[in-house]
Amino acid sequence: MTKVLSQNAEFADQTTLAGAESRGAYDGLRHALEQSPRDVIQEVAESGLRGRGGAGFPTGRKWGFLQFDPARPPVLLCNGDESEPGTFKDHWLLARDPHLVIEGILIAAHAIRAQDVFLYIRGEYESLLPLLMGALEEARAAGFIGPDVLGTGRCMAITVATGAGAYICGEETGLMESLEGKRAYPRVRPPFPAVRGFAGRPTVVNNVETLANLPWIMRRGAAAFHALGTEDSPGTKLVSLSGCISRPGVYEVPMGYPLSALLENEGGGPLPGRHLKAVIPGGTSVPILTAEEVATVTIDFESMRAVGTLLGSGGMIVFDDTVSMPHALRSISHFYATESCGECTPCREGTGWMAAIVDRLLDGGARKDDLDRLLRIGGNIEGRTICGLGDAAVQPVRSFVLKFRSEFEALLRDTIPRLEPDWQAHGHGPRTARRGAVGEEARRSEAVTGRPTYRW
């Protein structure tokens, strides 16, 4: 199988410039610099490369939206926030082949004529920084970065920025706000980043893996890249395989590779004595696939779409028969409830509400119609939020509940019917025992705020 991204990753000296250059690093950049930016964009468009950050948007098309305006020079943001649960391939790339990413960044910067590039690394990847800074320093010393890249007169500067651990900083406009030193509240589009992005300048945001494909494309040409993978999803995909699987890890597979083959060959199959139950194929933000569905799909954008899910970040989380789906959903829902930035109403209030319902399904106190309630709340979030996090939070809830309904229904067996109207909960009658909970909650919030809360 042809490797585009990982062919040199196993060499220990690949992190040094000398090691990387001995295997052809920066040849792609040299090649790109010989071409005009327009030709590079053309080449990437012809390669059919699609974004690996989640949405799979064609990279050449994204670059083509930029209008060059010397008064507001374009900016390239390389998105290394990688906060999608179950995703760790950008880390893998940056740790093993930093020069590949740097080269990709420089090719993209040349293509969109950006002098200013920001590489945004999630806060938790702090330990990557020494390696990355070392690689950048080497690249600068060798003349790949700086005021006059390889004597072409092109100026390119790369700034590394780190987040502080918020998922929303990976959302492209949240990332821009974060870079501008603000709270990462996503922006309403339009205006789109290509028109008005970071610091009001036309901006392109690309994922680390997306850019890492560029050196290969520049060296081997668009046609060679297009020949890999499938017609609509050319190239390869770095898959982060985790969960109940024998050999978790990062694997590069050609697009169109069967998911079941990945699990069996690369992943080494289920743990001994266990059986596959489900796979989340693209980070927790995409609908889960049952074992039956897993058998039918291949790893590419169209096939995933055909079964109603998405390739997303390629973060594949495997569930086997020992996993309780409601417990898994609890963990996922809490992730979205705490990571919702809180800017727009449906996501801010809805994610917390869904998480609270999943909690009470597991902890007691659920209501008979709670599964329908979950679906109803999801319907009120989806498609109505500023950014994709709202939609993302709904996908696991809906797909878990619909595909593993019996496991959730089992939790509903001993619910107490809800009393109407609500205030009866605090009066006399069958619910008196619950009043302890009110006191408990009030005590807890007093402890947090230092102020009495009142209740009636």
Partner 1 sequence: MPVVTIDGLPISVEPDTLIIQAADRAGIEIPRFCYHPDLRPEGNCRMCLVRVKGFARLTPACTTPVADDMVVTTAHADDEVRRASRGVLEFLLINHPLDCPICDQAGECSLQDFYMHPDYGLHHSDVESREKVRKRKAIDLGSVYLDSERCVMCSRCVRFSNEVTGAGELQFVHRGNHVELVAFQDRALRDPYAGNLADLCPVGALTSRDFRFKRRVWFLHHAPSVCAGCSTGCNVRIDYTERGIERVVPRRNPFVNRSWMCDEGRFSYQTVSQLPRVTTPLTREGEDLHPVSWEQALACARGAFSLPRRGEAAVIGSPMATNEALWGLQEYARNMKDPVALEFRSTSADPDVEARLDELLLHADRAPNSRGAMMLGMGASDGLENIAVRAEQGMIDLALILHYPPVVPAGQPDLDRRVTALARLVRHARFSIVLTNADEDWWHAADVILPVASWSEEEGTYTNFNSTTQHVACGQDPPGEVRPAWRALLDLLASVPAARRYGSAQEIFDRGVAAMPAFDGLRFDTLVSRHATVYPPEGRTSYGQEGFAGR
Ligand X SMILES: Cc1cc2nc3c(=O)[nH]c(=O)nc-3n(C[C@H](O)[C@H](O)[C@H](O)COP(=O)(O)O)c2cc1C
Contact set with ligand SF4 (CB under 6 A): 168, 186, 340-344, 347-348, 385-387, 389-390
**253 strand-pairing partners:** 237
Interaction of residue 254 with ligand X, rule CB under 6 A: no
CA separation for the pair 9, 92 (Å, rounded): 9
Q: Could you tell me if 100 and 107 are in contact, meaning their C-beta atoms sit under 8 angstroms apart? A: no
Among positions 345, 362, 375, 388, the unique one binding partner 1 when judged by CB under 8 A: 345
- 3-state SS, 66-107, equals CCCCCCCCCEEEEEECCCCCCCCHHHHHHHHCHHHHHHHHHH
Region binding ligand X by CB under 6 A among candidate stretches 46-54, 234-242, 267-275, 322-330: 46-54
Among positions 162, 340, 395, 399, the unique one binding partner 1 when judged by CB under 8 A: 340
Q: For residues 167 and 319, which CB has a smaller minimum distance to partner 1 in the complex?
A: 167
* Closest distance to ligand X from the beta carbon of 187 (Å): 11
* Closest distance to ligand SF4 from the beta carbon of 304 (Å): 22
Among positions 15, 47, 203, 210, the unique one binding ligand X when judged by CB under 6 A: 210
* Closest distance to ligand SF4 from the beta carbon of 185 (Å): 7
- Residue 52's SS3 state is coil
CA separation for the pair 342, 345 (Å, rounded): 7
Residue 104 contacts which entry, ligand SF4, ligand X, partner 1, none (Cβ below 5-8 A, type-dependent): none
Q: For residues 348 and 426, which CB has a smaller minimum distance to ligand SF4 in the complex?
A: 348
Residue 55 contacts which entry, ligand X, ligand SF4, partner 1, none (Cβ below 5-8 A, type-dependent): ligand X
Interaction of residue 425 with partner 1, rule CB under 8 A: yes
Site string for partner 1, 357-396 (x = CB under 8 A): ----------------x-----xxx-xxxx----------
Interaction of residue 24 with ligand X, rule CB under 6 A: no
Phi–psi pair at 68, nearest 5 degrees: -75, 125
- Residue 267's SS3 state is coil
Residue whose entry in the numeric block shows the structure tokens 């799979």: 56
User: Exposed (0-12), middle (13-18) or buried (19+): which is 167, by Cβ within 10 Å?
Assistant: buried
* Closest distance to ligand SF4 from the beta carbon of 385 (Å): 3
Phi–psi pair at 275, nearest 5 degrees: -125, 145
Residue 206 contacts which entry, ligand X, ligand SF4, partner 1, none (Cβ below 5-8 A, type-dependent): ligand X
What residue spans of 81-213 are helical by DSSP H? 89-96, 98-112, 129-141, 172-179, 208-212
* Segment (H or E) for 446: helix 435-449
CA distances from 265 to 203, 288, 313 (A): 40, 21, 21
* Closest distance to partner 1 from the beta carbon of 442 (Å): 7
Interaction of residue 42 with partner 1, rule CB under 8 A: no
Tokens of 288: 């889960």
* Closest distance to ligand SF4 from the beta carbon of 163 (Å): 14
Q: For residues 170 and 267, which CB has a smaller minimum distance to ligand X in the complex?
A: 170
CA separation for the pair 96, 284 (Å, rounded): 25
Query: Site residues for ligand X, window 406-425 (CB under 6 A)?
Result: none
Taking 3-state DSSP, the helix, strand and coil percentages for the chain, each rounded to the nearest 5, stand at: 50, 15, 40
Among positions 37, 85, 170, 256, the unique one binding ligand X when judged by CB under 6 A: 170
CA separation for the pair 394, 95 (Å, rounded): 33
Which residues would be at the binding site for ligand X (CB under 6 A)? 51-55, 57, 62, 79, 81-84, 167-168, 170-172, 205-207, 210, 387-389, 392
Which residues would be at the binding site for partner 1 (CB under 8 A)? 166, 168, 183, 185, 188, 337-346, 348-353, 356, 373, 379-381, 383-386, 420, 422, 425-426, 434, 437-438, 441-442, 445, 449, 451, 453-456
